[in-house]
Amino acid sequence: MIIPKVSIFAESMLVEQQESLVAKLKHWGFLGSAFLVVEGSGNEAFAGSLLKVIKKVSGFCDLLIRFDTASDDLAIEMLNVGASSLVVGSASQTEQWPTVPDDRMRIDADLSDVYCTENLESNPNIIADFLIERLKSDRPDGMWPTVICDQLGIALGLAYSNEASLRHAIATRNGTYWSRSRNELWVKGATSGATQQLLGIRLDCDSDCLRFTVTQGPPGFCHKKTHTCFGEERSIATVLHRLAERIESSNEKSFTRRLATDAGLLEKKLLEEAKELSDASQEDDRYEVAWETADVFYFSLVAMLKNGVGLDEVYAELARRMNRVIRRD
């Protein structure tokens, strides 16, 4: 898989510069990975800024980092805030980080055939070229089935892509496909208003199918104005949608709306239900645990929504924490 490479100098970063770097890594890491190369030694302030950047990017894609002058402590910190791997110039360099597990270090030379060193801003077609070169099809029209999913991984529907639509999708970061019936580009939402922002692309294991991850605009992907082409499902996404509607409604009798507008009430219910879940977990009653967990979920989701936090952000944070390491002896 291609791993876009971004290089920076180890110098102090203002908040705006941090956000710019986060956006750049997310933009080019939409195939699932990004490679950040830090040149120079930096100082404590730079290290702090770098850790903030890693934390914000790591839940979005696998982040490889090469920072030759980083201390062993900083190397561990980078991994524990979300870096997937640390890259070194040679096997002998692994000795500079004695407590970093071997399976979290990679040799630069081993990556030479998978990451791109070209200036991505001046050659944006390199990612499309890479995908098109590797994709294959057994269809007479040569098109590739494209599964469209939202940020939570829920399948919205199936479309088809060809070289023209794939290049357009990558260049514009919109959900763009090929209409077989009209034999032309189909930019989702261009006429219906149900637009898509393209967040990521993946190939399947046989390289004959694509998966697009998108932010789907209302009323949904399906022409029947539902979120998916498979009908409404009992999923966490459905729950979130209904809670959001209730929070935004003008119905003063809505308990969900009351929770979202009364910080004291929400705090009280969160603490109360957390205690009840804790008590239930001691009783060896799986049904009661499920009941109380649902209560905690409900109040937690309200807290998320009232603060503008998406469930995909929570998933990203959990993914980031999966990268935590224990120091090597």
Q: What DSSP line would sit under 172-206, residue for residue?
A: HTB-EEEETTTTEEEETTTTTS--EEEEEEEE-TT
Give CA–CA dist 122/124, Å, rounded: 6
Q: What is the DSSP letter of 69?
A: T
Give the residue, 249 or 294, on which the prediction is more confident: 294
Q: How many CB atoms lie within 10 A of CB 84?
A: 20
Residue-level pLDDT at 53: 95
Residue-level pLDDT at 270: 97
| pLDDT band (50, 70, 90) for residue 277 | very high
| pLDDT band (50, 70, 90) for residue 322 | confident
Among 71-80, 152-161, 215-224, 236-245, the range scoring the smallest mean pLDDT is: 236-245
| Separation of first and last alpha carbons in the chain | 32
Is pLDDT at 329 greater than 70 in this prediction?
A: no
Which residues, 6 or more positions from 7, have their beta carbon under 8 angstroms from its beta carbon? 36, 37, 38, 39
Residue-level pLDDT at 2: 76
Give the mean pLDDT of the chain.
Answer: 90
**Phi and psi torsions of 309, nearest 5°:** -95, 130
The single-letter code of the amino acid at 131 is L
Q: What is the DSSP letter of 217?
A: P
User: Domains, the chain, ranges and CATH?
Assistant: 3-123 (3.20.20.70), 127-216 (3.10.20.810), 236-320 (1.10.287.1080)
Mean pLDDT calculated for residue range 77-93: 90
Q: What share of the chain is helix, strand, coil (3-state, %, to 5)?
A: 45, 20, 35
**Bridge partners (DSSP) listed for residue 178:** 185
Among 29-33, 226-230, 315-319, 321-325, the range scoring the smallest mean pLDDT is: 321-325
Mean pLDDT calculated for residue range 132-138: 94
Residue-level pLDDT at 325: 72
Residues above pLDDT 70, as percent of the chain = 96
Q: How many CB atoms lie within 10 A of CB 173?
A: 14
Mean pLDDT calculated for residue range 189-201: 94
* Of residues 58, 59, 118, 321, the one with CA closest to residue 50: 58
Is pLDDT at 278 greater than 90 in this prediction?
A: yes
